Amino acid sequence: MVTPVISQLNANAAGIMNVIRNEASPEYRQAVPTVEQTVESIKAAGTAIMAFQPRMNEFVNIANRIAVVAVTSKMYENPWAFMKKGTVEFGETVEEIFVNMVKAEPYDAPNSPANVFKRRLPDVRTMFHAMDLQTKYPVTISYQQLKQAFLSANGVVSLIQDIIRQVYTAARYDEFIMMKYTFATCALNGVITNDSYTAITDAATATAFVKKVKSITGKMGFMSTSYNIAGVPTYSLPDEIYCIMTTDTAANIDVDVLAQAFNLDKVTFIGRQVMVDSFSFNEGELNRLDMLLSKDPNYTRPNSGDLEALSGIGAIICDKNFPQFYDNLDMYTEQYNADGLSWNEFYHVWRTYSASPFSNVVMLSTTASSVTTVTVNGPSTATAGETLQYTATVAAGDFTNKGVTWSLKTNTVTAGTVTINQMGTVTVSENATGSFGVIATSTVDTSKTNTKTVTIS
């Protein structure tokens, strides 16, 4: 089970300063003595460093590199960091490809001469995951701060801890918030399959929740189109499934019982159970989202209704390939400000936060999906030979997929043909006459449908 961790830098000032000295230039090593863990020795080395501007620059630069190394185990850890798929070395976009299953054909010996050269193109689906967040974390180190670092036994350690705390902790925390926001956005847009449950208040409701988890994880092992955004046939192996569960939900359910629901032993299950405080956001997280996405024209701050709905999600069960998170750039740069006697440090962080439409994901929430009405939008008249575009407006509750399937009512078309695809595009043949109906049916509730009658002029 992965939870956030906050640690302290355990190295002492002398050890850090000697590492910096070993990696520094020959001039630096000649001027700055080896340091012992005493105030006098640290002061002596500090005096040599502060006596020459290039030495100060070199010390700050290497100290920041040490901070980068130390940060991996000595700072707030993003509990969802394991979800990252790696680093994008070139370009800004990752192409995800899904190849659908080949369709079976009956054995047909008489027509085999014609069939052997027939082209059967594979059904290949593609999703592009683009870099969508470019941020920087600036911090200033003053001449006075650097000077004071050499006046005590722990001053250098404190300076590096300050760099870590101000810069890297902020970046890792924001990374976690953005990952959670990706899941929340998918949930609010209705692209994650929603299975409602009764809030856990006693043993009976806890048992019912575990039964749902067991049912979902079992079904994910079989080929299905029900649990991915694209609606393609796919499945998930048991060791590919992760359970992201709120701390409140986990507190009400015995870990042994949950492990049995996943058909795993307790130790193995704990390794795949991921904790989250809530799928909703507190005010501090919302404020950071506002800063991170201030230049994103598509960003809308979650409102109170969204936050209330998100707080009702108890768990999200997903294939390990559902989150598509990538590192695009991690770069630390600095610039000495001669006028202000300070160093301006910049930590640049570029990331991709996306989700796979081809991987399984299901959420358990206390909100049931519901559709109120479906309305077809588009022209009511058509001309023979014309192509028309129709859209559907779906009035629905929280976490409800607003997708529709398109069909036609053509029994009143007296001549020619009329066709429609699943994008709502209607094609009327050159000789078509009469009228037809464009039908949109909710993918969640097939009883909710709407028909628009179109007359061919």
* pLDDT at residue 311 in the model: 95
- pLDDT (tens digit, 9 = 90+) per residue, 364-410? 999 988 999 999 999 999 999 999 999 999 998 889 888 899 999 99
Please give the Cα distance from 221 to 210 (Å, whole number): 17
Question: 336 pLDDT exceeds 50?
Answer: yes
**Is 131 contained in some domain?**
no
Question: 2 pLDDT exceeds 70?
Answer: no
* pLDDT at residue 51 in the model: 86
Domain endpoint, select from 123, 148, 163: 163
**Is 183 contained in some domain?**
yes
**Is 289 contained in some domain?**
yes
Answer for the pair 290, 172: CB distance below 8 angstroms, yes or no.
Answer: no
* pLDDT at residue 269 in the model: 66
CA dihedral 279, 283, 288, 289 (to 10 degrees): 50
Predicted structure pTM score: 0.80
- pLDDT (tens digit, 9 = 90+) per residue, 189-242? 988 999 999 998 888 888 889 889 889 988 999 999 989 988 899 999 988 899
Answer for the pair 1, 275: CB distance below 8 angstroms, yes or no.
Answer: yes
Q: Both 144 and 290 in a single domain?
A: no
Please give the Cα distance from 190 to 361 (Å, whole number): 12
Boundaries of domain holding 209: 169-329+344-365
Degrees, nearest 5: CA angle 194-286-129: 60
**Is 297 contained in some domain?**
yes
How many beta carbons lie within 10 A of that of residue 105, not counting itself?
Answer: 9
Q: Both 189 and 318 in a single domain?
A: yes
Q: Average pLDDT, stretch 28-56?
A: 89
**Is 103 contained in some domain?**
no
Q: Both 302 and 211 in a single domain?
A: yes
Closest CA to 93 of 125, 127, 132, 131: 131
Q: How many helices (H) and strands (E) does the chain have?
A: 14, 21
Q: DSSP label at 447? A: T
Q: Average pLDDT, stretch 415-437?
A: 92
Q: Both 261 and 410 in a single domain?
A: no
More confident residue, 66 or 441: 441
Query: How many domains does the chain divide into?
Result: 3
Q: Average pLDDT, stretch 37-42?
A: 88
The token pair at 60 is 């700050």
Q: Average pLDDT, stretch 419-442?
A: 93
- Band (pLDDT 50/70/90 cuts) for residue 141 is confident
Question: 246 pLDDT exceeds 70?
Answer: yes
Rg (CA), the chain: 30
Residue 251's SS3 state is helix
Q: What is the mean pLDDT of the chain?
A: 86
Longest dimension (CA), the chain: 101
End-to-end alpha-carbon separation of the chain, Å?
Answer: 65
**Is 121 contained in some domain?**
no
Residue 394's SS3 state is strand
Residue 76's SS3 state is coil
**Is 115 contained in some domain?**
no
* pLDDT at residue 132 in the model: 82
Lowest mean pLDDT among 6-10, 129-133, 155-159, 281-285: 6-10
Closest CA to 24 of 38, 40, 45: 45
- pLDDT (tens digit, 9 = 90+) per residue, 100-137? 777 777 887 787 777 777 777 777 777 778 788 899 98
**Is 321 contained in some domain?**
yes
How many beta carbons lie within 10 A of that of residue 26, not counting itself?
Answer: 7
Q: Both 312 and 391 in a single domain?
A: no
Please give the Cα distance from 362 to 315 (Å, whole number): 9
